Structure 1
Amino acid sequence: MDKLCCVTAIYPGSFDPLTNGHVSIVRRGLKLFQTVVVAVARDSGKTPLFTLDERVAMIREVFKGEPRVQVDSFTGLLVDYVARRGAGAVLRGMRAVSDFEYEFQLALMNRRLHRDIETVFLMTDYKWMYISSSIIKEAARHGGNIQGLIPNALVPEVYKKFAELERQRQENPGPP
């Protein structure tokens, strides 16, 4: 019998902000792995609402009572980070069929780059299938109720960030 893949999985993403769907994937990942590292990508190609340090701090706050969850940030190739951490798996969540093609391509490329790293896909819980950080930010930007979609501790942080951005916009209006 081959040895087990690993005891540690890396769950990468931008987590801007962390959603209840992300939390669900982490908690379910703990049923499969001894440790789950939530790895916040510095170079995600997205323009984040929160700084890298703010995202890391918020995720640590959400999981502060769970010693098997670690929070870190990384830059560069994910498989290089996974190898540096001594992990053997990448944990990915999928909401719908539309996620599959992109995630499948990433998994194949990661496998090509580092044959010893496995990708484990978990389908999100049905109640989070329509949730994404982008949709949550758009709702919050316009004053929509995001309670119950992200961890309760993060709700005021999201509204506060949008209020700060609006204040900055009013203080420094751009060209007409």
Structure 2
Amino acid sequence: MYTKAIYPGTFDPVTNGHIDIINRACKMFDKIIVAVADNKDKNTMFSLEKRVEFMKKATQKFDKVEVKSFSSLLVDFAKKEKAKIIIRGLRAVSDFEYELQMGYANKSLDKEIDTIYLMPNLENAFISSSVVRSILKYRGDVSHLVPKEIIKDIQCI
């Protein structure tokens, strides 16, 4: 059976933790659509176009990955893409309550949607896009936190 999953997020910017989740999801599914959200409620550091560009660079080594942007409800995007599985990452217990709530909300909107939660490897468990943005604001070194393919791009801000 052909399985397609969606890994959504703002990815502002993409981190090694995100890539870790994508790598493991590629072992579980035939196709992964990395869905970069155009969330007007979030004040992102990078434009939607830049975030999509960064994600494409960071995932070019994965044959199963396609990067797309979306600005709708996630379940509507999933229907359009004919995907029934949503992948979400859990770093800490603090993520769990929010992610569980979102998983139930998505299920209430589309009974056929299932959410799968993956934990990043321990070495990536502390990495978040907000940590990376905070370090970038003070011109700190984030080379150990983000994919090498985008390091030069994000340090030019």
For the criterion TM > 0.5, the same-fold answer is yes
In our comparison, the structure showing a higher alpha carbon Rg is 1
Structure 2, unpaired ranges of 5+: none
- Return the letter of the residue paired with 1:16: D
- RMSD across aligned positions (CA): 1.2
Does residue 105 of structure 1 match 2:101? yes
Where structure 1 has 5 or more consecutive residues not aligned to the other structure, the ranges are: 162-176
Query: How many Å separate the matches in 2 of 1:38 and 1:71?
Result: 5
Offset of 1:67 from its aligned partner?
A: 2.1
Runs of 4+ in 1 over 2 A off after TM superposition: none
Equivalent residue, structure 1, for 2:133: 137
**Mapping 1:16-95, distance limit 5 Å:** 16-43=12-39, 45-95=41-91
Q: How many residues align?
A: 157
Q: Given the two structures, how large is their TM-score scaled by the length of structure 2? A: 0.96
Q: What is the CA-CA distance between 1:44 and the residue it aligns to?
A: 5.4
Report the equivalent of 2:8.
12
For 2:96 and 2:20, how far apart are their aligned partners in 1?
19
> Is the Cα–Cα contact under 8 Å of residues 14 and 44 in structure 1 kept in the other structure?
no
Alignment pair present for 1:153 and 2:145 = no
**Aligned residues with identical type, % of pairs:** 38
Letter in 2 for 1:82: A
Question: TM-score, with normalisation over the residues of structure 1?
Answer: 0.86
Shift of 1:123: 1.0
Report the Cα offset of residue 61 of structure 1. Answer: 1.3
Find the aligned partners of 1:23 and 1:159 in 2 and give their Cα distance.
Answer: 19
Deviation at 1:152, TM superposition (A): 1.0
Determine which structure has greater relative contact order: mean sequence separation of CA pairs < 8 Å that are 6+ residues apart, divided by chain length: 2
